[in-house]
Amino acid sequence: MKILSTEGLRKFFPIKAGVFLQVVGYVRAMQSVTMEISKGETIGIVGESGCGKSTLGRTIVKIYEPTGGRIIYHDDKGNEYDITKGLARNVRSKFRRDVQMIFQNPFDSLDPRMTVRDIIKEPIEAHNLLSKDEIDDYVGELLMKVGMYPEYAQRYPHEFSGGQRQRIAIARSISVSPRLIICDEPTSALDVSVQSQIINLLQELRDEIKMSYIFISHNLDVVHHMSDRIMVMYLGNVVETAGAKELFDYPAHPYTKALMASIPNWDPQERKLQNIKLEGEPPSPINPPPGCPFHPRCPYKMDICSKEMPDSFQVSESHSAACWLHEREDVVGQSG
Ligand X SMILES: Nc1ncnc2c1ncn2[C@@H]1O[C@H](COP(=O)(O)OP(=O)(O)OP(=O)(O)O)[C@@H](O)[C@H]1O
For ligand X, the binding residues (CB under 6 A) are 13, 27, 29, 47, 49-55, 218, 285
DSSP code at position 46? E
**From the list ligand X, Mg ion, none, which binds 178 (C-beta under 5 to 8 Å, kind-based)?**
none
Residue type, 188: S
* Minimum separation from the CB atom of position 12 to ligand X (A): 9
| Coil, strand or helix at 248 | helix
285 binds, among Mg ion, ligand X, none (CB under 5 to 8 A by kind): ligand X
Pick 54 or 335: Cβ nearer Mg ion: 54
Asked if residue 195 binds Mg ion (CB under 5 A), the reply is no
Of the pair 186, 293, the CB lying nearest Mg ion is at: 186
Half-sphere exposure of 29 (CA within 13 A, CB side): 20
Residue 212 binds which of ligand X, Mg ion, none (CB < 5-8 A, kind-dependent): none
Number of Cβ within a 10 Å radius of residue 26: 15
Q: Which does 218 bind (CB under 5 to 8 A by kind): Mg ion, ligand X, none?
A: ligand X
> C-alpha dihedral over 111, 189, 223, 149, to 10 degrees?
-50
Q: How far is the CB of 57 from ligand X (least distance, A)?
A: 8
Residue 46: name its binding partner from ligand X, Mg ion, none (Cβ under 5 to 8 Å by kind). none
The residue (of 29 and 139) whose beta carbon lies closer to ligand X is 29
Residue 7 burial (C-beta neighbours within 10 Å; 0-12, 13-18, 19+):
middle
Whichever of 147 and 162 has its CB closer to ligand X, that residue is 162
| Closest CA relative to residue 45, chosen from 91, 6, 74 | 6
For residue 266, the partner it binds in ligand X, Mg ion, none, with Cβ less than 5 to 8 A by kind, is none
Query: Among 42, 54, 100, 227, which residue interacts with Mg ion (rule: CB under 5 A)?
Result: 54
Which pairs with CB-CB distance under 8 Å and at least 24 residues apart come from 71-78?
71/4, 71/5, 71/6, 71/9, 72/4, 72/5, 72/6, 72/7, 73/3, 73/4, 73/98, 73/99, 74/1, 74/2, 74/3, 74/4, 74/5, 76/1, 76/179, 78/1
Q: Which is nearer to ligand X, 171 or 222 (CB)?
A: 222
Asked if 55 touches Mg ion (CB under 5 A), the answer is no
Looking at beta carbons only, is 12 or 152 nearer to ligand X?
12
Note the residues at the interface with Mg ion (CB under 5 A): 53-54
